[in-house]
């Protein structure tokens, strides 16, 4: 068995000792049994909450693009105007009168 030293507030210490001894008796090992039960429960609850968080996060991302892909909120017809390369080309064409060649 491993030994763990923890610090508790006075109020929690008294409450824990009182409840642990009422549940497990006043014999040797009562506090250890109660502490082990409490810590096991605490670990289980926190592991479950982390699993739920991960599951919720995964389900929110399912059906969406992967994190490497960015979603564009630009109208598809406007995308070519948003692209710097396309804008430069479009800008060059628009500066020339229609029907002229150069």
Q: State the angle between helix axes of 30-61 and 10-24 in degrees (0 to 180), rounded to the nearest 10.
A: 110
b/e burial code for range 54-72 (CB count within 10 A of at least 16 → b)? eeeeeeeeeeeeeeeeeee
Q: Which two tokens stand for residue 55?
A: 């599951």
Q: Per the confidence metrics, is the pTM higher than 0.95? A: no
What are the domain boundaries of the chain?
Answer: 9-57
pLDDT digits (tens, 9 = 90+) for 49-58: 777 777 776 6
Identify the band that residue 48 occupies on the pLDDT scale cut at 50, 70 and 90: confident
pLDDT in tens, 20-35: 999 999 999 999 999 9
């Amino acid at each position: 068995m491993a030994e763990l030293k923890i610090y508790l507030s006075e109020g929690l210490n008294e409450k824990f000792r009182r409840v642990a001894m009422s549940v497990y008796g006043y014999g040797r090992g009562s506090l250890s049994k109660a502490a082990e039960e409490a810590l096991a429960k605490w670990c289980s609850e926190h592991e479950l909450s982390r699993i739920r968080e991960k599951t919720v996060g995964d389900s929110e991302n399912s059906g969406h693009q992967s994190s490497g892909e960015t979603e564009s909120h630009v109208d598809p017809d406007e995308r070519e105007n948003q692209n710097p390369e396309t804008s430069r080309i479009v800008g060059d064409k628009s500066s020339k009168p229609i029907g002229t060649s150069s």
